Structure 1
């Protein structure tokens, strides 16, 4: 009986050990401006800080900043440096809620989407970006979108779908049970 428990404990520890943080999607751990904060003057740029490095490269990561009238306020290209994503902003305009929607490629290769909201308490003198008909609309969330933790469509938030982990656990437990039964008959 002790061997059965030892085998099952070993199988459980193996499964826990395989679920390392390196297989998890990136998580936003901070931003400038901070989520749900109120600022008197609009920032010149935004900064999104994640718990792991973000994959860089042209067109891999998108950030969209929308103001109270759903106008866009991006002022340049997204830059990635390790686990920090930055983007310059235009001078902000009307007072109200601004939403930073992001769609980044996480360290494990999966897309991670979310949003950060902040309130501009005093209007600025800026004008929104002109709509670009030639540029496809970003898949980053607009002001109406809900944040996405990255886990969807059967994805556990780790590097493999949930069914792979369940199948692995069943196989390990089955092997442990067979081993325990064989060892029990030999004694």
Structure 2
């Protein structure tokens, strides 16, 4: 009789143990697993530009505006403009405001142009791309334009090519990327879940053995 009761007690405790483990797994594992999965790429993208890519303009544009899907970081943005011969016209830093980056353009003659841009996405990763457009008539040459292109004028000095930021400079100015070096929170949560399961299993097994021992004594 005592042996039968002891076996029933063991079976009952095993059933309780399985139920507890199943409950904890159902509650905690769905919380931990998504945090262990690789984070999907969520880089911002260029959604529009003025001039638009592939656009043909009779009048040379005075400004370039790039609009992104989210706010970009003002960390060493770069815009490079070149003509159809591949000659670089300038490399400058655009003004970043929210999800737009803009820059003034010099007087452009009739030609095909390529804009190469690079900014830092809101998630802290650099993104880049190109915008191609064509000017069919071009800007008229005026005395003001000649003055603006005079090497001795302050405007020309401001429009002079600037050195392109190196990868080392970007690494130093992009704290969002450096913060990823810590221990992933998903691993911490998964470890805590596993530890909790082990503790519960040990407690249930200990209780089962104690009750089985008392059953044999009686």
2:71 to 34, 53, 67: 53
Q: Deviations over 1:4-55 (max 9, x none)?
A: 2311112235x38xx799xx654333222223x2313332211111233344
Q: 1:118 is matched with which residue?
A: 132
In the alignment of these two chains, the number of paired residues is: 160
Q: Which residue of 2 is the match for residue 9 of structure 1? A: 30
Name whichever structure is richer in helix by fraction. 2
Alignment of 1:124-139 (within 5 A): 124-125=138-139, 135-139=161-165
Give, in whole Å, the separation in 1 of the partners of 2:26 and 2:109.
65
Give me the whole-angstrom Cα distance separating, in 2, the residues matched to 1:55 and 1:164: 22
> Which residue of the partner structure matches residue 195 of structure 2?
178
* Cα offsets for 1:102-141 (capped at 9, x unmatched): 2334446x462412222316252579x7898x8543349x
**Unaligned stretches of 5+ residues in structure 1:** 141-149
TM-score between both structures, scaled by the size of structure 1: 0.60
> TM-score, structure 2 length as denominator?
0.54
Equivalent residue for 1:99, pick from 89, 110, 114: 114
CA RMSD of aligned residues (A): 4.2
Q: Considering only CA atoms, is the larger Rg found in Structure 1 or Structure 2?
A: 2
